[in-house]
C-alpha cells in the first residue's frame, strides 16, 4: 500500500501499518501535512499549523514506538480542536481574544492522547468559543464543507469534521455543548461521539457552558471512536464534575449482538421541521437497525420544544461568566489605547470578541441579572430537569434512541447571517441530549441531494459502549461511512 | 431630645489555616514574592477548573460545631460576578443561597454582663488578589498570591447595640477561631478582618434605620473607632434633618473617620448563580462526626468545668477561657503543680503572670516564666517553703533573670522561717524594744498588731511564716 493510499484509511488500519512498521509516525505526519498545505487555502480547516512542532511530536512518537511494549496508537496523527490547551501550541478558541495565546499547559484530553503517542497535525478551526452551528463565527474565517465548498461544514467543531472528511487526518478532537460534534459529523459524513457529561475531563478545555460542555472525538468508523474513547475517558481529580467509574473498555464491547435491543424513535422528531430528504434517510437507517434484529418502539418527548429556549438561557448565562476572565489584564487581547480601567475592559473585550460571542454574553448577563434570574435562569433549570425526566421515562421503554441529528443537510455559507435565531432552532435534536447530559453519536446514514445525512443514536447515562456497539454493527452492514468526497484540488489522491 | 438606639451586625472574614488554596494546590504562605504563589487555576487561565479543598471544608465544619450551628448536608458554591483586575476569573466563588454553616451563636461578656449574639451564617469563599498602586510610576500592579486563599465569612444577626458589644463579639470570635485552630487570627496580615453594618433608630422604634457598611476594619481599635464615628455621624445627620443613605463606607484610621466608597445606586448586580464547575458540596453525617471527635474542648465547656469541678469563680474561669493559650497554660500548671489548689493556680495566672504578660505585651506562648516554673513556685508556696511575699519576689526574679525555683530559694536564702523558737526570739526582742506600742495594743488599739507584723517581717527579710507569726505574736502580746 502506498503512503497516499494509507492516508485515506481509517485509524484502525493506520494503526496496523504502524504496528507492522510499514510506516513511521514521521512519514504519516509529513504525508498529512503535505495534504493539508495543499488544501488549507480552500478548506480553511486549521487555524494553526506548525510543521516543526508536529515533526517534533512525530519524532517523539517514533521514539516511543522503538520501546516495548508500544501503544498501537503511537504515531497516529490527529487534528486538535483549537479549544484544548496544548503546551507550546497557540490555543485561540477561534477568537481574536486569544489570537496570541500560547497555552502553558496540556488539557486532560491532550495529555491522554500525548501519553499514547498521538501526533498533533494542527489546531482545527472552530466557531469562536464554540458558539455556533456553522463554523462561520470563527475569527479566522469560515471552514468549507469538503462535499461542497459553497456549504458550511457545521459547527462548532467544523474544522475537525472537515479535516477528517477531507482525508487530512484520520481522527480529530471536538467538543459538544449543543451538538457541536454530532452536527458537523453528520454534515461532513463522518462518525462523531459526544460522551456522557462527566465521562471526559474538561480540564484544559476552554469553557463555553460548563454544565453542558463535553469533549469527544471524530473518526471514520465507530470502531475508531471506541478506541479513542478508551484513551480520553476516565476520572480526573482536576475536574470536580469528572466521574470516577470502572466501565468495561468500549472496544471490548464491539461485536456483541444487537439483536433484541429496543430502539426508541421519538415521534415528535419526525414532524414538521424535518426535511423530507433527511427524514427518508433516517427512517431507512432505522429500518436497517430493525433488519439487524432491533425492536423499534415509538417514544414520546413532551418537553422537546422547550429545549432550545432553555438552552439559550443556560448556555449564555454560563458563558457570560466563563468569558469574564478575558479582560485584557493577564493574557489575551488588550486594546492598545485606553484612558482608564473601564475603557481597558470595554475596548479589549469589544475588539477581542466577535458578534455572536457578544450576543451570548449579553443574553447571559441579562438572564442572570437581578429581577430576571427566577423568570429565566431558574425556569430554564426546571425545564432542564423535565427534559432529563423525558429521557429517563423513554429509557424505561428502550435501550437506545434513534433519530435525526439536524433537520437539513449542510446549508450554503451565509444562509443565516441576519437571523441567528433561525440557526439556533436547527439544533433541536442535539440540544436536549446536552441538557440531559447523555451520551450520543452521529454516524453516516446516507445522502440527500449529494450531501451527507447522519443518524443520531442516544444512550442512557454511561452507555457509550452500547451506542458504539450498535453503530459498529450498523457499519458492518452498510457502507455509508466509507463514502468520501471528491478529492479537493491539490490534494493527492 | 430623641434617644437613639444603635444596631450593629458584623461580617468577619477569617482566613482558614490550610496549607493550600481553596480551589487549587498553590501554597497560601504569607509574604512571598508577588505572583510566585499563584498557579494556573489562581491566574484564571483559559480551561482551568476549581476543585474544593477538603481541609477548608473541614475547618468550616469545625466552626459550625463550635457555635452550635446547623451544618448543611448539601451546600452550593455560587459565582459572584464582577470585573476587577485582582479578580482573575471575573467572578469570585462564594456561597450564596445555601451556605455550609447556618445559624449558631456566640456568647460575649461586656461590663453589663453576658449576652448571646446569634449568627446568621458562615460560608466558604475564595479571596481575591491584591492591587498594588505604589512603586509602578502611575501604573498599578497585581499580586495574585492571595487569590484563592480560603475564607470563612461569618455573619451575625443585627444584635449588637454598642461599639463595646461589637468589639466584645469580635474578640470572642477571634479567640474562638484561634481556639479551634481554623484561623491564625493575624489581623496585621489580614487573616481576620471585619466589616460592620451600622444603623441607628429612635429608642422604641421597631423598624431598623438605614444602614451603612463600614469596610477595612483590621484591628479591634479601628472597629471601635469606626463604629463610634459612624454612630455619631448618623445621629448628627438625622438630627440636622438629613437622611442616612445606604452605602458602603471606608474607615480611614489616619483621619479617624469613615467616608463613602459607593452608594446603593452604584452597587454591583453580582449576577449570582450556582457555579457549574462545582457539584453541590456534600457533607455526610460521618464526616461531621469525624470532625467532632477531633474537636478540642470548647471555651464554654471548659469554663463550666473550671467552675463546677475546680470551684473557680466565674470571673477567673472566664479569664482562663478567654483564649486557648490561657486555658492550656492553666492546664499545664495544674498538671505539674502536684497538690496545689486550683484556685491558687488561677489566681497566679490571672494575677502576677497576666500582669507581667500585659506589661510586656506578650502572649502565653512567649511567657518568660513557663508553666512548669510557675508550678514549682506554687508548690513551694503552698507547702510553706516560701511566703506569698517571697513567692512574688521569686516570680519577678525568674521573669527577669530566669532560674529554677528551688535553686533560687537556696542560693538566696529565701526559705521561710517556720521555726517557732527562732520566731519567738525575734518577737520577744521587738516587744522589748517597743514597750509603748505594747501598751497601746493592750489598751485595745488592735491596729498596732500590724505594726509588729511589719517589724517582724522586716527583721526576717520577709521570710517569716505569716500564719505562725500571727499566732505567736498574739500569744506574746496578750502574754505576761
Kindly provide the ipTM of the predicted complex, given to two decimals: 0.96
Q: Would residue A156 show up in a list of annotated catalytic residues for this protein?
A: yes
Confidence grade of residue A69 (pLDDT, cut at 50, 70, 90): confident
Residue A332 pLDDT > 70, yes or no?
yes
Beta strand extents in B44-168 (DSSP E only): 70-71, 74-75, 77-81, 91-95, 101-102, 105-110, 113-126, 130-132, 141-143, 150-156
Radius of gyration of the CA atoms of chain A, in A: 21
Name the residue among A240, A324, A331 with its Cβ closest to that of B49: A240
Give φ, ψ of A490 to 5 degrees. Answer: 95, -25
Residue A100, number of CB atoms within 10 A of its CB = 11
Residue among A85, A318, A320 whose CB faces B47 most closely: A85
B238-252 pLDDT, tens digit each:
999 999 999 999 999
Stretch (H or E) spanning B172: helix B163-179
A238 touches chain B (CB under 8 A): yes
> Which residues share a beta bridge with B381?
none
Q: Specify the 3-state DSSP secondary structure of B100.
A: coil
Q: Could you say which of A138, A156, A157, A348 is catalytic?
A: A156
For A318, nearest residue in chain B (alpha carbons): B276
Residue A379 belongs to a domain? no
> Which of A211, A324, A347 would best serve as a mutation to test chain B binding (most B beta carbons within 10 A)?
A324
Q: Is B154 helix (H, G, I), strand (E, B) or coil?
A: strand
Query: DSSP letter string over B372-392?
Result: HHHHHHHHHHHTTSS-HHHHH
Query: Cβ of A238 and B51 within 8 Å?
Result: yes
- A221 falls within a domain: yes
Interface test with A, best of B49, B56, B88 (most A CBs within 10 A): B49
Mean pLDDT of the region A122-133: 98
CATH number for the domain harbouring residue A170: 3.90.1300.10
Q: Can A201 be counted among the known catalytic residues?
A: no
- The alpha carbon of residue B146 is apart from the nearest alpha carbon of chain A, in Å, by 16
Q: Does A85 touch chain B (CB under 8 A)?
A: yes
Contacts of A91 in chain B (CB under 8 A): 46
Residue B264: pLDDT band (50, 70, 90) is low
pLDDT grade for B111, boundaries at 50, 70 and 90: confident
Q: A317 at the B interface (CB within 8 A)?
A: yes
Each residue of B164-179: pLDDT tens digit?
Answer: 999 999 999 999 999 9
Give the count of domains, chain A.
1
Q: How far apart are the first and last CA of chain A?
A: 13
Buried b (16+ CB within 10 A) or exposed e, B445-475: eeebeeebbebbbebbebbbbbebbeebbee
* Number of Cβ pairs < 8 A linking chain A and chain B: 98
Q: Find the mean pLDDT for residues A271-288.
A: 96
Chain A residue numbers touching B271 (CB-CB < 8 A): 320-321, 365, 368-370, 373
Residue A491: the pLDDT is: 44
Percent of chain B exceeding pLDDT 90 equals: 65
CA atoms within 13 A on the CB side of B1: 8
Residues sharing a CB contact under 8 Å with residue A167, sequence separation 6 or more, in sequence order: A7, A8, A35, A484, A487, A491
The closest of B90, B378, B342 to A345, measured between CA atoms, is B90
- Could you report the per-residue pLDDT of A179-207, keeping only the tens digit for each? 999 999 999 999 999 999 999 999 999 99
Please report the pLDDT score of residue A492 as a whole number.
Answer: 43
Nearest CA in chain B to A84: B47
CA distance A37 to B87: 42
Provide the shortest C-alpha distance from residue A275 to chain B (in Å): 36
Q: Domain residues for A13? A: 3-258+438-482
Q: How far is the C-alpha of A100 from the C-alpha of A89, rounded, in Å?
A: 10
pLDDT at B480: 55
**CB-CB neighbors (< 8 A) of B268 in chain A:** none
Q: Considering CB atoms only, which of A84, A98, A321 is closest to B81?
A: A321
Does pLDDT of B66 surpass 50? yes
Asked if B45 and A209 come within 8 Å (Cβ–Cβ), the reply is no
Of B47, B83, B269, the CB nearest to A369: B269
Task: Please spell the DSSP secondary structure of A370-399, one letter per residue.
Answer: TTTHIIIIIHHHHHHHHHHHHHHHHTTT-S
* Of B217, B306, B302, B303, residue with least CA distance to B258: B217
Q: What does the pLDDT read at residue A420?
A: 86
Q: How confident is the model at residue A493 (pLDDT cuts 50, 70, 90)?
A: very low
The rounded percent of chain A whose pLDDT value lies above 90 is 93
Closest residue of chain B to A93, computed from CA coordinates: B46
Give me chain B's average pLDDT, please: 91
| A94 touches A140 (CB < 8 A) | yes
- Residue A329 is nearest to which of B52, B85, B273, comparing CB atoms? B85
Judged by CB atoms closer than 8 Å, whether chains meet at B277 and A240 is answered as yes
Taking the CA of residue B327 and the nearest CA in chain A, the distance in Å comes to 41
Asked whether residue A243 is assigned to any structural domain, the reply reads yes
Q: Is A259 a catalytic residue?
A: no
pLDDT at residue number B99: 98
Residue of A123, A326, A327, A380 to mutate when probing chain B, most B C-beta within 10 A: A327
The chain B residue lying nearest A349, using CA atoms, is B83
Interface-testing mutation among B26, B271, B272, B279, with chain A (most A C-beta atoms within 10 A)? B271
Write phi, then psi, for B33 (nearest 5 degrees).
Answer: -60, 145
Contacts of residue A419, defined as CB under 8 A and 6 or more positions apart, other chains included, come to none
Contact B88 A238 (CB under 8 A): no
Q: Give the predicted TM-score (pTM) of the model.
A: 0.89
Q: Where are the domains of chain B?
A: 4-289, 297-412, 420-478
pLDDT-above-70 percentage for chain A: 99
Positive or negative, the CA dihedral A455, A459, A465, A466 is negative
Q: pLDDT class for B266, splitting at 50, 70, 90?
A: low
**What confidence tens digit (pLDDT) does each residue in B112-164 have?**
888 999 999 999 999 999 988 877 777 888 999 999 999 999 999 999 999 99
Angle at which helices B420-433 and B466-478 cross, to 10°:
50
Average pLDDT value for residue range B363-382: 92
Assign a CATH topology to domain B420-478: Arc Repressor Mutant, subunit A (1.10.10)
DSSP helix/strand/coil, A350 = helix
pLDDT at A131 over 80: yes
- Chain B contact residues (CB < 8 Å to A): 40, 43-52, 79, 81, 83, 85, 88-91, 142, 269, 271-273, 276-279
Distance separating alpha carbons of residues B412 and B20, to the nearest angstrom: 54
Tens digit of each residue's pLDDT (9 = 90 or more) over B68-106: 999 999 999 999 999 999 999 999 999 999 999 999 999
In a domain, A355, yes or no: no
- Which residues of chain B lie closer than 8 angstroms to A241, CB-CB? 276-279
* Residues 175-214 (A) with a CB less than 8 A from some CB of B: 202-207, 209-211
Average pLDDT over residues B317-330: 90
From the candidates A81, A114, A144, A194, which is the catalytic residue?
A81
Residue A131's nearest CA partner among A97, A105, A156 is A156
Question: Residue A12 falls within a domain, yes or no?
Answer: yes
Segment A273-290 shows an average pLDDT of 97
Sign of CA dihedral B14, B20, B22, B26: positive
Which contiguous run of DSSP H or E holds residue A30?
helix A25-43
Cβ-defined contact of B46 to A325 (cutoff 8 Å) = yes
| Interface contact A103, partner B, CB < 8 A | yes
Amino acid at each position: 500500500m502506498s503512503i497516499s493510499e494509507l492516508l485515506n484509511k481509517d485509524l484502525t488500519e493506520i494503526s496496523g501499518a504502524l504496528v507492522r512498521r510499514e510506516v513511521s509516525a514521521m512519514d504519516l505526519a509529513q504525508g498529512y501535512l503535505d495534504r493539508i498545505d495543499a488544501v488549507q487555502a480552500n478548506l480553511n480547516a486549521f487555524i494553526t499549523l506548525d510543521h516543526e512542532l508536529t515533526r517534533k511530536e512525530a519524532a517523539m512518537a517514533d521514539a516511543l514506538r522503538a520501546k516495548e511494549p508500544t501503544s498501537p496508537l503511537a504515531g497516529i496523527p490527529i487534528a486538535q480542536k483549537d479549544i484544548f490547551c496544548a503546551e507550546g501550541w497557540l490555543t485561540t478558541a477561534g477568537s481574536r481574544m486569544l489570537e496570541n495565546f500560547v497555552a502553558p499547559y496540556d488539557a486532560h484530553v491532550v495529555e491522554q492522547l500525548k501519553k499514547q503517542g498521538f501526533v498533533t497535525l494542527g489546531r482545527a478551526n472552530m466557531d469562536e468559543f464554540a458558539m455556533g452551528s456553522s463554523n462561520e463565527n470563527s475569527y479566522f474565517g469560515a471552514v468549507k464543507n469538503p462535499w461542497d465548498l459553497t456549504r458550511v461544514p457545521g459547527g462548532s467543531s467544523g474544522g475537525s469534521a472537515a479535516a477528517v472528511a477531507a482525508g487530512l487526518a484520520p481522527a480529530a478532537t471536538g467538543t459538544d455543548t449543543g451538538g457541536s460534534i454530532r452536527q458537523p459529523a453528520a454534515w461532513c459524513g463522518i462518525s462523531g461521539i459526544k460522551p456522557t457529561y462527566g465521562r471526559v475531563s474538561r480540564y484544559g478545555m476552554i469553557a463555553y457552558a460548563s454544565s453542558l460542555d463535553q469533549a469527544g472525538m471524530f473518526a471514520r468508523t465507530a470502531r475508531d471512536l471506541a478506541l479513542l474513547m478508551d484513551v480520553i475517558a476516565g476520572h480526573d481529580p482536576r475536574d470536580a464534575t469528572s466521574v470516577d467509574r470502572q466501565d468495561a473498555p468500549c472496544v471490548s464491547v464491539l461485536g456483541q449482538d444487537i439483536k433484541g435491543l429496543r430502539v426508541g424513535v421519538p415521534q415528535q422528531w419526525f414532524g414538521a421541521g424535518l426535511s423530507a430528504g433527511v427524514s427518508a434517510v433516517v427512517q431507512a437507517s432505522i429500518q436497517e437497525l430493525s433488519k439487524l434484529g432491533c425492536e423499534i418502539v415509538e417514544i414520546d418527548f413532551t418537553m422537546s420544544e422547550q429545549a432550545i429556549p432553555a438552552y439559550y438561557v443556560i448556555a449564555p448565562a454560563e458563558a457570560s461568566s466563563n468569558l469574564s476572565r478575558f479582560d485584557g489584564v493577564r493574557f489575551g487581547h488588550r486594546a492598545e489605547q485606553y484612558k482608564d480601567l473601564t475603557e481597558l475592559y470595554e475596548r479589549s473585550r469589544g475588539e477581542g470578541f466577535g458578534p455572536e460571542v457578544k450576543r451570548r454574553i449579553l443574553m447571559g448577563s441579562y438572564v442572570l441579572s437581578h429581577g430576571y434570574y427566577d423568570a429565566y435562569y431558574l425556569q430554564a433549570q426546571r425545564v432542564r430537569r423535565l427534559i432529563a425526566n423525558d429521557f429517563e421515562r423513554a429509557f424505561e421503554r428502550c435501550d437506545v434512541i434513534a433519530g435525526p441529528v439536524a433537520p437539513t443537510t449542510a446549508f450554503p455559507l451565509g444562509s443565516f447571517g441576519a437571523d441567528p435565531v433561525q440557526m439556533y432552532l436547527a439544533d433541536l435534536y442535539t440540544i436536549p441530549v446536552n441538557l440531559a447530559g447523555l451520551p450520543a453519536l452521529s454516524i453516516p446514514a446516507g445522502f440527500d441531494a449529494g450531501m451527507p445525512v447522519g443518524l443520531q443514536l442516544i444512550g442512557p447515562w454511561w452507555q457509550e459502549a452500547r451506542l458504539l456497539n450498535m453503530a459498529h454493527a450498523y457499519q458492518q452492514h452498510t457502507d455509508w461511512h466509507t463514502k468520501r468526497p471528491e478529492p479537493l484540488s491539490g490534494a493527492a489522491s | 431630645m430623641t434617644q437613639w438606639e444603635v444596631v450593629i451586625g458584623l461580617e468577619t472574614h477569617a482566613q482558614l489555616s490550610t496549607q493550600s488554596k481553596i480551589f487549587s494546590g498553590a501554597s497560601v504562605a504569607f509574604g512571598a514574592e508577588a505572583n510566585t504563589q499563584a498557579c494556573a487555576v489562581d491566574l484564571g487561565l483559559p480551561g482551568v477548573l476549581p476543585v474544593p479543598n477538603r481541609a477548608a471544608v473541614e475547618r468550616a465544619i469545625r466552626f459550625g460545631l463550635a457555635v452550635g450551628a446547623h451544618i448543611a448536608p448539601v451546600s452550593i458554591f455560587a459565582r459572584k460576578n464582577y470585573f476587577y483586575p485582582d479578580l482573575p476569573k471575573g467572578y469570585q466563588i462564594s456561597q450564596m443561597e445555601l451556605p455550609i454553616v447556618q445559624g449558631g451563636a456566640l456568647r460575649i461578656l461586656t461590663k453589663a454582663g453576658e449576652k448571646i449574639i446569634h449568627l446568621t451564617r458562615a460560608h466558604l469563599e475564595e479571596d481575591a488578589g491584591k492591587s498594588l498602586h505604589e512603586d509602578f510610576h502611575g501604573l498599578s500592579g497585581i499580586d495574585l498570591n492571595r487569590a484563592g486563599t480560603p475564607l470563612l465569612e461569618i455573619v451575625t444577626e443585627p444584635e449588637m447595640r454598642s461599639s463595646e458589644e461589637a468589639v466584645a463579639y469580635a474578640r470572642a470570635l477571634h479567640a474562638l477561631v484561634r481556639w479551634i485552630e481554623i484561623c491564625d487570627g493575624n489581623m496585621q496580615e489580614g487573616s481576620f478582618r471585619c466589616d460592620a453594618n451600622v444603623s441607628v433608630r429612635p429608642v422604641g422604634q421597631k423598624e431598623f434605620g438605614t444602614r451603612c457598611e463600614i469596610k477595612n476594619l483590621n484591628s479591634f481599635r479601628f472597629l471601635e473607632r469606626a463604629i463610634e464615628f459612624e454612630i455619631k455621624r448618623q445621629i448628627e445627620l438625622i438630627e440636622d434633618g438629613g437622611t442616612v443613605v445606604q452605602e458602603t463606607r471606608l474607615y480611614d484610621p489616619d483621619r479617624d473617620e469613615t467616608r463613602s466608597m459607593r452608594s446603593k445606586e452604584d452597587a454591583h448586580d453580582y449576577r449570582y448563580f450556582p457555579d457549574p464547575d462545582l457539584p453541590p458540596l456534600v457533607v455526610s453525617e460521618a464526616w461531621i462526626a469525624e470532625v467532632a471527635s477531633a474537636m478540642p474542648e470548647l471555651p464554654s465547656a471548659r469554663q463550666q468545668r473550671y467552675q463546677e469541678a475546680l470551684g473557680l469563680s466565674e470571673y477567673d474561669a472566664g479569664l482562663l477561657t478567654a483564649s486557648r493559650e490561657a486555658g492550656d497554660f492553666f492546664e499545664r500548671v495544674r498538671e505539674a503543680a502536684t497538690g496545689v489548689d486550683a484556685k491558687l493556680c488561677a489566681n497566679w495566672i490571672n494575677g502576677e503572670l497576666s500582669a507581667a504578660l500585659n506589661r510586656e505585651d506578650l502572649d502565653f506562648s512567649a511567657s518568660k516564666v513557663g508553666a512548669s516554673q510557675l508550678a514549682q513556685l506554687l508548690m513551694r508556696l503552698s507547702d510553706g517553703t516560701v511566703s506569698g511575699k517571697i513567692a512574688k519576689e521569686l516570680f519577678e526574679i525568674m521573669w527577669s533573670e530566669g532560674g529554677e525555683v528551688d535553686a533560687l530559694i537556696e542560693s538566696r536564702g529565701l526559705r521561710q522561717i517556720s521555726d517557732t523558737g527562732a520566731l519567738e526570739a525575734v518577737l520577744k526582742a521587738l516587744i522589748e524594744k517597743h514597750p509603748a506600742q505594747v501598751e497601746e495594743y493592750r489598751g485595745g488599739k488592735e491596729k498596732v498588731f500590724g505594726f509588729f507584723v511589719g517589724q517582724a517581717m522586716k527583721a526576717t527579710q520577709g521570710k517569716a511564716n505569716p500564719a505562725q507569726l500571727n499566732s505567736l505574736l498574739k500569744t506574746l502580746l496578750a502574754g505576761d
